[in-house]
Structure 1
C-alpha cells in the first residue's frame, strides 16, 4: 500500500502548526531538487512564503493521511497555473505527485501550466511521463534561476 492509495486531498486553511509543516516540506523538497544551491534559506523564510503565497484567491491543497501532511500544491485557478507542487522527500516516488497532478486536471479541466527549475530533472521526467508538454525556458522573475514551463493540454 502506497501513501497515495491511502491519502486524500483537502483544501487547506492553515493553522500555525500546519504552516510550519508545509514550510518544512517545501524547504526539504526544494533543497533536494536544487542540489546546486550553496546556502539554503532558513525555515522562517519558507514560513513567510507559505503565509504570503497561499492566500485567496490562491488555493492550497494538501495530500494528507490521518491528519499528517504529505504533500502540497498551490493553485492559481484564474490563471490556470500550478504555482507550487512539493512532496516530502521521504515520500517521493510513491504516487503523491501524480495524485496532485490529477487534482489539478480535475480543477482546471481546460488545461493549465507550471514552471520547474531546469536543474530539477526528476520533476521534469515526472511531468513528461504524466503527459505534460514542455514549453519555453526562461528565468524566474524573482530569483533569476533558470526554469522551464510545462503545459497540461486536455485531449
Structure 2
C-alpha cells in the first residue's frame, strides 16, 4: 500500500478537514459526534491558522485521510488526526516523520491524559513526558511531551 501524500491544506478543504478532525477525536471514545462539536471545530480552524498553524493533509488519491497542524515558531505538533478509515495503516508514523523533517531538532506536543492509546504511541516514538496541566478551555488534563533529536554520534 502506498501511503498518502502529505501536502499543505487548501482553504476549500476546511470543511472536510474539520470532519476528519471530529471523526478522529470521536474515535478516541472521549467525545460523541455532534453538530455542535463540528461547528466548534469549523470556527476554530481559521482562528488557529491565523494564529500561526501550518496545516497539512494526507491526500489519499483526492480524499483527505488525515490532518496535521504544526505551530513551527513554538515547535508544537498541535494536531495529528487520522480518519478512522485510515487508522492502523502506518499513516500516523508517516505524518510524524514529516513533522520531524519540519522540526528536526525538537518537537513539543500535548495529549489528553485519558487518550492512553495516543500518548503511549508517542512514548514509543521517542517522546518524553514533561508535565501535566489542565486545558483552560476544555478542562481536559493534558500530558505535555517533548522529543529532541539525539546528539550522539552514530
Q: What is the TM-score of this pair, normalised by structure 1?
A: 0.88
Equivalent residue for 2:130? 135
Equivalent residue for 1:92? 87
How far, CA to CA, are the matches of 2:126 and 2:100 in structure 1?
12
Task: Output aligned runs, 1:17-96, within 5 Å.
Answer: 18-33=13-28, 35-37=29-31, 40=34, 41-55=36-50, 57-96=52-91
**2:11 counterpart of 1:14:** yes
**2:142 counterpart of 1:147:** yes
How far, CA to CA, are the matches of 1:154 and 1:120 in structure 2?
25
> Structure 1: any 5+ residue segments left out of the alignment?
none
**2:27 is paired with a residue of what secondary structure?**
helix
Superposition deviation, residue 140 in structure 1: 0.8
Superposition deviation, residue 37 in structure 1: 3.8
> Structure 2: any 5+ residue segments left out of the alignment?
none
Superposition deviation, residue 146 in structure 1: 0.8
Equivalent residue for 2:104? 109
Aligned length in residues: 149
How far, CA to CA, are the matches of 1:76 and 1:32 in structure 2?
24
Superposition deviation, residue 113 in structure 1: 0.5
Q: What is the TM-score of this pair, normalised by structure 2?
A: 0.88
**1:86 is paired with a residue of what secondary structure?**
strand
Cα distance change, pair 49–111 in 1 and its aligned pair in 2 (3 A): same
- Runs of at least 4 residues of structure 1 off by over 6 A? none
